[in-house]
Amino acid sequence: MKKHPTAREVFASALANWRIVILGMMIAILTTTTFYFVTVYKPTFGKNVLKLSQDALLVTLLVAVTSFIYGIQLAAPSLTESAASRFC
């Protein structure tokens, strides 16, 4: 039977691998910020400042959704390979 790590072991592992933890946090912040910029700020700027039509804003939204889906597909193989090599 597999033994689950205790909280102390989890925190010790996170502390021992602090560079990877910080890098993961930075990637999460970058992804969240970029997604917000593309899906919220750009359409608002286009509507209020540039006075774009609804069609142009729909194109922007579709580009944002496509970018999000494509980004997940690119990130998933590297994440699964990393997790598999670490824990198996």
Compare 47 and 19 and report the one with higher pLDDT.
19
pTM of the model: 0.52
3-state class (DSSP) for residue 53: coil
Give 8's pLDDT tier (boundaries 50, 70, 90).
very high
Neighbouring C-beta atoms of residue 74, cutoff 10 Å: 9
- 60/86 Cα distance (integer angstroms): 39
Is the pLDDT at 73 greater than 70? The verdict is no
What stretch of H or E contains 65? Answer: helix 54-87
Question: CA of 43: how far to CAs of 36, 46, 64, 67, 68, in Å?
Answer: 11, 5, 10, 15, 16
